[in-house]
């Protein structure tokens, strides 16, 4: 553990520039987010642009959705279209997760669905 290991610990210039959080590869951040809870992910998404982009990755949100989320989203959207509610299309898994965390009425408003 001589001089070689001490240079790892100290923050030294790399090619004339100090390395920071923005230098961490986005796929590494995504891999870290997969093991975190949604509130933690949303909090860390504010750190910088790389963290924000990683927080929108479908890989991060896939495991946080119920296994039947496609059926649930289809059911909710079909029911809302029947009563005339206009809503934008949902493309990202993060948006699907956020949508399912809100109360969603279906079956002519007789049933309510939300995940927490």
pLDDT tens column, 36-92: 999 999 999 999 999 999 999 999 999 999 999 998 888 887 776 655 555 666 678
3-state helix, strand, coil in the chain (%, to 5): 50, 5, 40
Query: Is the sign of the CA dihedral 114, 64, 43, 91 positive or negative?
Result: negative
Q: pTM for the complete prediction? A: 0.70
Q: Which residue has the tokens 């934008």?
A: 88
Sequence spans of domains, the chain: 18-62, 69-113
Judged by DSSP in three states, 38 sits in helix
Whole-number Å distance between alpha carbons of 86 and 68: 23
Instruction: State pLDDT tens for residues 2-38.
Output: 555 444 555 555 566 777 878 889 999 999 999 999 9
């Amino acid at each position: 553990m001589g001089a070689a290991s001490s240079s790892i610990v100290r923050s030294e210039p790399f090619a004339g520039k100090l390395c920071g959080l923005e230098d961490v590869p986005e796929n590494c951040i995504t891999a870290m987010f997969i093991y975190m809870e949604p509130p933690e992910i949303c909090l860390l998404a504010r750190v910088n642009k790389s963290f924000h982009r990683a927080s929108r990755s479908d890989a991060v949100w896939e495991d946080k959705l119920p296994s039947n989320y496609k059926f649930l989203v289809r059911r909710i959207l079909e029911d809302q279209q029947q009563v005339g509610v206009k809503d934008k299309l949902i493309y990202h898994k993060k948006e699907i997760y956020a949508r399912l965390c809100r109360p969603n009425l279906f079956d002519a408003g007789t049933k309510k669905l939300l995940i927490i």
